């Protein structure tokens, strides 16, 4: 377990308002954009490896949707070859990669407090509290996957309840169950703000698909900045990890 000490450095903290949090997250994200691209690139490569092993091709589905000119009535997503097998393994695969998001949140925190950032910081989630990070990520992947399968709309209402989980796991060295409980309790009591922040954060994260999908490398991990800024707004400046 890591030891912690309180910050004695200055760092910006947004107010508990949707606009302030999104703005703060954007400013933080701009400062760590290269690390964000590296994290997303690792994720995309790892996901491509899994797809190649299983025989599933998500990019071909994206191209099919783009070529449909908006008419997706004949688009048979759930009949795509290898989809069910891919979904069977992707939650575990995603949980194994989730420490990269923890690392990016750690880097965001360092940038916010003007601390020196090292490339190895991106992998702190594999060195600290990995088991709880894995369990938490696996649980949230399954829950959000079920919500997404229900016409997609419930996903946007469920996601806010998990928004603070990763920062809590990192900065408080919490267990998976404690992170789930604390994130849920805070989000429940401030649900309107969390819903707005989550919705805008997800939209901005996925807007990279509009740039021939390549832009997702730049925008894909923006939601981690939203998680960090929301944590700062509702729980104050995080603790420094030794």
Token pair belonging to 121: 């910081």
The torsion of the CA quartet 29, 234, 130, 159, rounded to 10 degrees, works out to: -80
CA distance 160 to 194: 5
Give pLDDT tens digits for 136-153: 999 999 999 899 888 778
147-186 pLDDT per residue, tens: 988 877 899 999 999 999 999 999 999 999 999 999 999 9
Helix (H, G, I), strand (E, B) or coil at 241: strand
**pTM reported for the whole predicted model:** 0.85
Is residue 83 within 8 Å of 54, Cβ to Cβ?
no
Q: CA 34, CA 56: separation in Å to the nearest integer? A: 29
């Amino acid at each position: 377990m890591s030891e912690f000490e309180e910050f004695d450095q200055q760092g910006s903290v947004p107010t508990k308002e949707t606009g302030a949090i999104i703005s703060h997250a954007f400013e933080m994200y701009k400062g760590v954009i290269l690390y964000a691209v590296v994290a997303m690139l690792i994720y995309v490569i790892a996901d491509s490896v899994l797809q190649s092993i299983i025989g599933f091709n998500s990019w071909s589905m994206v191209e099919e949707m783009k070529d449909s000119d908006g008419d997706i009535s004949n688009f048979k997503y759930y009949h795509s070859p290898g989809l069910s097998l891919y979904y069977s393994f992707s939650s575990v695969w995603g949980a194994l990669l989730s420490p990269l998001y923890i690392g990016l949140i750690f880097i965001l925190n360092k940038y916010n407090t003007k601390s020196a950032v090292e490339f190895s910081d991106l992998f702190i989630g594999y060195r600290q509290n990995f088991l709880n990070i894995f369990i938490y990520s696996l649980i949230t992947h399954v829950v959000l996957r079920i919500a997404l399968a229900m016409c997609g709309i419930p996903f946007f209402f469920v996601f806010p309840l998990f928004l603070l989980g990763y920062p809590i796991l990192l900065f408080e060295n919490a267990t998976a169950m404690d992170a789930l409980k604390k994130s849920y309790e805070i989000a429940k009591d401030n649900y309107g703000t969390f819903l707005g922040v989550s919705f805008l954060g997800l939209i901005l994260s996925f807007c990279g698909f509009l740039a021939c999908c390549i832009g997702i490398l730049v925008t894909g991990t923006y939601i981690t900045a939203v998680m960090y800024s929301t944590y700062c707004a509702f729980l104050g400046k995080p603790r420094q990890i030794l």
